Amino acid sequence: MQKLMEGKVIIVTGAGSVGEGWGNGKAAAALYAREGGKVLAVDRSIDAARQTQEIIRSEGGVCEVIAADVSKSADVKAIADAAMDHFGRVDVLHNNVGIAETGGPVETSEESWNRLVAVNQTSLFLTHKFVLPIMEKQKKGAIVNISSLAALRWIGFPYLGYTATKAAILAFTKNVAMQYAPVGIRANCVLPGLMDTPMIREPLKASYGGDIEEMRAKRHAQCPMGFMGDAWDVAHASLFLASDNARYITGLDLIVDGGLSLKCT
């Protein structure tokens, strides 16, 4: 049986992990490679990207790495150039980079707001700016942008900058989906709910009283299925949207939350 990503080239931004375990980008990069894809793993930390590369190569997969700050135009152009230099094409752009900081409009500093916009939103603009022309020449491509359930609803505490920038991803993606549908490029969003990944633990523990295990227990209890999802749940949803099995799907917001969005409280 042919693998879903056989022969395809995938750029994964945020492909490292901020701590031990599997972050969303790391899992997505590994899964794409397991399905036959050639991965360009992008991360601000070259060491984090290389850890992902080592896993992929140890499993017989293909992975190149590049260190980049995706909020900077020159760095993102270098990503697109590296993909072309290594592989000669780009079939999938997977935008996973994102940071989380808590606070409402009064508590959030201007520095925090600007940082969230740069990392969560401007990065998306720049990756599309440099990768879409490549896909347009190919007359085919798939884009998967990682947003959040927080883009749609209150999640229990003030989270203004994060929710605003993640909500912007939804509108951004729909615009791209409509503009580029005639030339064979699809763009979709994945919206994770409460997930148990390294990225959420340190930034959010203060909002749960400072105890990580207590935080995990409370978040598990919030989920209708009784447990948080993990990076692999996000990765498998992304794989479907990136694959040719989703060839007639574009502009979709795919919620991956164990039913959390169905609750009134």
Question: Of the listed 162, 180, 208, 248, which one is catalytic?
Answer: 162
Are 117 and 161 within 8 A, CB to CB? yes
Give SS3 for 143.
Answer: strand
Amino acid at 265: T
Please give the pLDDT value at position 213. 87
Please give the pLDDT value at position 202. 65
Are 230 and 257 within 8 A, CB to CB? no
- In which band, very low, low, confident or very high, does the pLDDT at 29 lie, cut at 50, 70 and 90? very high
The answer to whether 180 is a known catalytic residue is no
Of 56-60, 108-112, 210-214, 258-262, least confident by mean pLDDT is 210-214
Q: What is the mean pLDDT of the segment spanning 19-48?
A: 95
Q: What is the pLDDT of residues 9-27, one digit of tens each?
A: 999 999 998 777 899 999 9
CA distance 66 to 71: 15
Amino acid at 142: A
Are 63 and 120 within 8 A, CB to CB? no
| Total residue count of the chain as it appears in this document | 265
- In which band, very low, low, confident or very high, does the pLDDT at 200 lie, cut at 50, 70 and 90? confident
In the predicted model, is pLDDT for residue 32 greater than 80?
Answer: yes
Closest among 95, 51, 61, 60 to 76, alpha carbons compared: 95
In the predicted model, is pLDDT for residue 265 greater than 80?
Answer: no
The helix, strand and coil proportions of the chain, stated in percent and rounded to the nearest 5, come to 50, 15, 35
Please give the pLDDT value at position 108. 96
CB atoms within 10 A of CB 156: 15
Give residue limits of the domains in the chain.
Answer: 9-245
Q: What is the mean pLDDT of the segment spanning 202-222?
A: 80
Cα-based distances in Å from 88 to 83, 113, 188 = 7, 37, 24
Select the CATH number that applies to the domain covering 9-245 from these four: 3.40.50.720, 3.30.565.10, 3.10.150.10, 3.40.30.10.
Answer: 3.40.50.720
- In which band, very low, low, confident or very high, does the pLDDT at 257 lie, cut at 50, 70 and 90? very high
Are 186 and 250 within 8 A, CB to CB? yes
Can you give the C-alpha Rg of the chain in angstroms?
A: 18
Please give the pLDDT value at position 82. 98
Q: What is the mean pLDDT of the segment spanning 126-136?
A: 98
Q: What is the pLDDT of residues 72-83, one digit of tens each?
A: 999 999 999 999
- Return the residue matching tokens 């763009």: 187
Are 73 and 42 within 8 A, CB to CB? no
Percent of the chain with pLDDT over 90: 84
